[in-house]
A and B are shown apart, each in its own frame.
Chain A
Amino acid sequence: MSNTLNLTLNIWRQDGPNGPGRFETYKAPGIPEDASFLEMLDLVNEELIAQGKVPVEFPHDCREGICGSCGVMINGQAHGPERGTATCQLHMRKFSDGDTIDVEPWRAAAFPVIRDLVVDRSPLDAIIEAGGYISAPTGTAQDANETPIPKEVADSAMDAAACIGCGACVAACPNSAAQLFTAAKVWHLNSLPQGQPERYRRAQNMVETMELFFGSCTNHGECSEACPKEISQDFIAYLNRDHMKAKFFNRKLASQR
């Protein structure tokens, strides 16, 4: 049996997108330090149900840091205090007995609250839909080894592709910008030989869609700090470069000027 903590939680409760929200305070005694943050919320919910109170809705699924479902603001920090860690992999041993913890949903105009700690992140899918793919219909592919890709290129693409789409970058950004999310996908695809034909239209379309929902990037760098996969802010520079080039070289636009 592990050591236990006695905690006080201020949890954001909100019945729906249009309802008013409020913090409610719950005592959470006897929380094992080996529990994950989400298992701590499970224990709080079990207690609420036992008392006949409606449990707290919070986003979660795989609980191993890869699906990107989970994510709450913990004491004002997206995914909490541990670097490179999604909420589900944050364990209570990182907290101390007697702590008070504020738990809030992601805060961004593009992510309206659905209920309690759950928000709607569908604008991220809209960005992918705008160009976050390589057009390679099933059946058209050549042998995979026909296109050698230098290991450094593949590794760098993978560093960007590791994004789990949790939205912490947006939640951490003072402008609620989604540059890091967008840049990660753009760089993953634009750095690879397969991604070259659609390179500039991809950058342009994804940025334009992004700007329909999200704020502007002013290089605070909070996004990379909050990212559970520690995706580098450098990718935003690559995104800006490709987006700028797209503006200059977009052949479709050239004929319309």
Chain B
Amino acid sequence: MLPDARIPAGPMAEKWDNHKFDMKLVNPANKRRFKIIVVGSGLAGSSAAATFGELGYQVEVFTFHDSPRRAHSIAAQGGINAAKNYRNDGDSVHRLFYDTVKGGDYRAREANVHRLAQVSVNIIDQMAAQGVPFAREYGGLLDNRSFGGAQVSRTFYARGQTGQQLLLGAYQQMMRQVHLGKVKLHTKKEMLDVVVKDGEACGIVTRDLVSGQVEAHSGHAVVLATGGYGNVFYLSTNAMACNVTAAWRAHRKGAYFANPCYTQIHPTCIPASDEFQSKLTLMSESLRNDGRIWVPRNPDETRSADQIPEADRYYFLEEKYPAFGNLVPRDVASRNAKTVVDQGLGVGPLKNGVYLDFVDAINRDSAEVIEEKYGNLLQMYERITGEDPYKTPMRIYPATHYTMGGLWVDYNLMTTIPGLYAAGEANFSDHGANRLGASALMQGLADGYFVLPYTIGDYLAPRLQKKLVDPSDEVFTQAVAGVQDQTARFIGIGGTRSPDHFHRELGKLVWDYIGMARNATGLEKAISEIKALKDEFWADLRVLGTADSLNSSLEKAGRIADFFELAELMARDALDRRESCGGHFREESQTEDGEALRDDENFAHVSAWEWNGSDQPQTKHAEQLVFDEVHLTQRSYK
């Protein structure tokens, strides 16, 4: 049974305010009696930890990085949305809410999205007060840019390093709490299990990545802010260490995993060039403000880009979607790029990309203006490809970037395990089947700054007499032993193939069958091939070195083992969802002109999967989505 999502009653615009008043409070003097564990130090984790500390809770933060500032939020480039309407162009909380529900192809929970839009304005205020150097106009006021899926300019940015600046803001605010003794920071410790006693989360088990020590930590509540699972594709724009392990171990302990098949393929990344490639690099969506996307009309085109006259260029997004043009949402842009490349119109040595061209923008605004807006991105492109994007159009192609699916949470961001919360990309809640650009930073900070600090008190208030579970308790010793056993098992296999080998092979399967386009035959094939590869992994893995020192092969092995299980569930979820929506495109379900065709009658629900043990498949629970405010239509960006 899926627990109640606890969506407050009342009109949409009043739900959050009413709910804040209805929730129980912990009085200031009692807050210090509670210990909250936060796992992950990205936007959601750092901002939550800082705010819990300010409120007076005891906080312990765990990150597997050497510093909290390394969390992958740092790599977000383009910006953060907020319904400030500083441009006077018709934006409002309602419009941001509406755009986000529509952009998510009507598969998000309305009440959560509305709350997100409401607090978006507070985030900008908060971050500006902390000294985040947002881009400004000469008059000293904040500047905005446009992002996909919106017809207003509501995206705030700090050059092409918005994620970095926001994360450093949240990190600095957390370090202030570390200085004040409210937050205790644990670096280089990877969470490898959630511990549950009497049906409530009571702590975590970590492995110290330097000493190999496996440790138990108890808390009154646990927040997982551990990011998404895009690295299941092996090649993605995620950092190398991004993984699903914390969320997955929670899933194995009883937290339902929602909509795993909703993965976002970002349209503008540098195309893969070779087998050795370890990751794909994103080029911010903001580039689509000024860059024009095209391919040559002739598949046998041999001229260089600048020699191809206008008439022989196919600006496929501008032609198909005149209203939104190059700024259609990510899923639409990605699928169209795939279509033209599949038609043989691709560019570059492997014919696996499309052009993103700045010539018109440079002629209109000058190279200096373009450099000021996108300089660091264009420089990054030049470093990687050895080509100058001011002269030659950039080559781009879609790549896995973000995962909308994640741990199922209720309106309070609590998972199906009481006392265990999931925030940021780790939960499933706000983006439906497709996330709009510049909304991930918004959601991470909304969850950490403005949602969890309220909702966690509602859980803790009645548990004032609850004692921390002692780390010597059986629930902890068993969990510790489980982690130690698994570590020993990896080293003991003594096979012939490295962890990276299996990760790369798994990634190929996931990309081929659970990538941008999916069909029943492929998904069934994926399930059987993933299983076969998983068996090979457990029989032929080679992890060298020891368990009591820094050993990145060992760390990877644990993460890949979880990716295998996740990949299988992704395939099963994709197979079960016999409709297309957002980033989930089932070839069997498309409109006449190839757009995603939803089936609202049968699939206007969240699929939340319950773990049943390693030897049998998960059970699906459906949370019906109710749309009171937004009218369900076929999405059109034409």
Chain A interface (Cβ < 8 Å from any Cβ of B): 1-2, 15-16, 32, 34-36, 38-39, 42-43, 45-46, 49-50, 52-55, 57, 59-69, 82, 84-85, 89-91, 93, 114-115, 118, 120-122, 124-125, 128-130, 132-145, 147-151, 154-155, 157-158, 161-162, 164-165, 188-189, 192, 194-195
Instruction: Provide the main secondary structure of the chain A interface.
Output: loop
A46 pairs with B500, CB closer than 8 A:
yes
B129/A136 in contact, CB under 8 A: yes
Question: How many Å from the CB of B607 to the closest CB on chain A?
Answer: 31
* Chain B residues engaging chain A, CB cutoff 8 angstroms: 47, 50-51, 54, 65-70, 72, 74-75, 84, 86, 122, 124-131, 133-142, 158-159, 161, 163-165, 168, 171-173, 175-176, 178-179, 185, 187, 210, 239-241, 273-274, 276-279, 281-282, 379-380, 383-384, 386, 449-450, 453, 498, 500-501, 542, 544-545, 549-553
Residues of chain B within 8 A (CB-CB) of A38 are: 278
- Chain A residues with CB under 8 A of B75: 62, 64, 66-67
Inter-chain contacts of A195 with B (CB < 8 A)? 131
Q: Can you name the residue of chain B whose Cβ is closest to the Cβ of A35? A: B276
Extra 18 A-B pairs, beta carbons < 8 Å, given A61-B239, A136-B130, A138-B453: A42-B500, A49-B542, A55-B552, A61-B65, A61-B72, A62-B75, A66-B161, A68-B69, A69-B66, A115-B210, A125-B187, A134-B129, A138-B50, A141-B122, A142-B129, A144-B84, A148-B139, A158-B133
Q: Give 6 closest A-B pairs by Cβ, nearest first.
A: A148-B140, A133-B172, A141-B129, A144-B128, A141-B125, A158-B133
The 8 Å CB contact of B158, one of A15, A65, A132, A158, is A158
Measured in the bound complex, the distance between the Cα atoms of B226 and A198 in whole Å is 33
Q: Could you tell me the distance between the alpha carbons of A139 and B125 in the complex, rounded to whole angstroms?
A: 9
Inter-chain contact A137/B279, CB cutoff 8 Å = no
| Residues of A contacting B282 in the complex (Cβ-Cβ under 8 angstroms) | 64
Complex contact A89–B175 (CB within 8 A): no
User: Are A69 and B278 interface neighbours, CB within 8 A?
Assistant: no
Taking a contact as CB atoms closer than 8 A, the residue among A66, A68, A115, A157 that contacts B131 in the complex is A157
CA distance in complex: A133, B127 (Å):
12
- The complex places the Cα of A158 from the Cα of B65 at a distance, in Å, of 25
With CB as the reference atom, state the residue of chain A lying closest to B546.
Answer: A54
Q: Which residues of A contact B69 (CB under 8 A)?
A: 68, 125, 165
Which residues of B have CB within 8 Å of A82? Answer: 383
Q: A64 to B281, Cβ gap below 8 A? A: yes
The A-B contact count (CB < 8 A) is 218
Contact across chains for A62 and B239 when beta carbons are under 8 A apart = yes
Q: Closest CB-CB distance, A7 to chain B, in whole Å?
A: 14
Separation of A214 and B341 alpha carbons in the complex (Å): 54
Check B164–A133 contact: CB distance below 8 A: no
A128 nearest in chain B by CB position: B175
24 contacts between A and B (CB under 8 A): A1-B274, A16-B549, A34-B274, A35-B276, A39-B276, A39-B278, A49-B542, A57-B552, A64-B281, A68-B70, A68-B74, A93-B386, A122-B67, A125-B69, A132-B172, A133-B176, A140-B129, A141-B122, A143-B125, A144-B124, A147-B128, A148-B141, A150-B136, A157-B133
- Shortest Cβ distance from residue A197 to the other chain B in the assembled complex, whole angstroms: 11
CA–CA, A115 and B51, complex, Å: 35
Which residues on A sit within 8 Å (CB–CB) of B279? Answer: 63-64
Q: How far is A140 from B122 in the complex, measured between Cα atoms in Å?
A: 10
Is the pair B550, A43 in contact by a Cβ cutoff of 8 Å? Answer: no
Given contacts A52-B544, A63-B240, whether A138 and B70 have CB atoms under 8 Å apart is no
Contact between B453 and A55 (Cβ–Cβ < 8 Å)? Answer: no
| A54–B124 touching, CB < 8 Å | no
* Residues from chain A with Cβ under 8 Å of B450 in the complex: 138
Q: How far is the CA of A107 from the CA of B495 in the complex (A)?
A: 36
